[in-house]
Structure 1
């Protein structure tokens, strides 16, 4: 038996697909497809918040420098304001790696609910629904490979 994918709730082997305790023998699956749901505004808002957190200190630094030049104070005051603004801008540095990592994971997970469907015993059955795009892609490809390899060569050609 070949295992194509295996995690806590999904197992795809050369004989069956098991999802949350339900077993679907590959010999009874004739077609596999997927559907995408609507975008999650919560995920998109989270990405926007991360972008604002990255840009906020830089915008504050630029505004501080513009303010220092606009006030036209003594060189000491201007240098102090510009220095403080630069420090505020540099504050984004240590946090940027953390925020970029969260932003990257957000794109890997995706912003839509994804569904994996199969024609099982002649009826459409939803095998899986998840918002994790990376995991979904791995499972979907594993099911495709398993179904393709379970069919006889003559059926694949025709």
Structure 2
């Protein structure tokens, strides 16, 4: 038995798919497909908040430099305002790394609910529902790989080797 995917709630092997305690033997599974739900506005708003948090200190630093030049104060005051603005801009560096990591994880998780369906014993059944796009992709690909050996092998001719192009045959 080959294990293609294994976590706390999902296991995909060469013999079956197990999801939350339910077992679906591969021999009983037919077509597998997926559905995408609507976008989650909560996730999109979170991404926008991270973007604002990244841009806020930088905008403040640029405004500080502009303010220092616009005020036409003494050189010492101008240098102090520009220095403070630059420090604010540089201070976002360590914070930016954390925020970019959260933003990257947000895109890996996705902004939609995803479902995997299969035809099992002649009827459609939902195998999995998750909002984690990365995990969903890993599980979906594992199910595809597990089902590949069960598919009938097609004889493939390479173009040019026999002098003719293979054509699909219609059934009577």
Do the aligned partners of 1:27 and 1:151 also contact (CA within 8 Å) in 2?
Answer: no
Is 1:111 aligned to 2:117, yes or no?
no
Give the match for residue 57 of structure 1.
57
Is 1:81 aligned to 2:47, yes or no?
no
Alignment of 1:24-103 (within 5 A): 24-103=24-103
Is 1:20 aligned to 2:20, yes or no?
yes
Do the aligned partners of 1:14 and 1:150 also contact (CA within 8 Å) in 2?
Answer: no
The 4+ residue runs of structure 1 with deviation greater than 3 A are: 151-154
Number of residue-to-residue matches in the alignment: 155
Q: Which has the larger radius of gyration?
A: 2
Q: 1:70 and 1:42 mapped to 2: Cα distance?
A: 40
Do the aligned partners of 1:2 and 1:13 also contact (CA within 8 Å) in 2?
Answer: yes
Higher-helix-fraction structure: 1
SS, match of residue 8 in structure 2: coil
Give 1:151 shift: 3.4
Do the aligned partners of 1:38 and 1:113 also contact (CA within 8 Å) in 2?
Answer: yes
Unaligned runs of 5+ in 1: none
Q: 1:23 and 1:112 mapped to 2: Cα distance?
A: 26
The alignment yields a C-alpha RMSD, in angstroms, of 1.3
User: Higher relative contact order by CA 8 Å / sep ≥ 6: 1 or 2?
Assistant: 1
Give 1:150 shift: 2.2
Give 1:152 shift: 4.1
SS, match of residue 153 in structure 1: coil
Give the match for residue 146 of structure 2.
146
Unaligned runs of 5+ in 2: 155-168
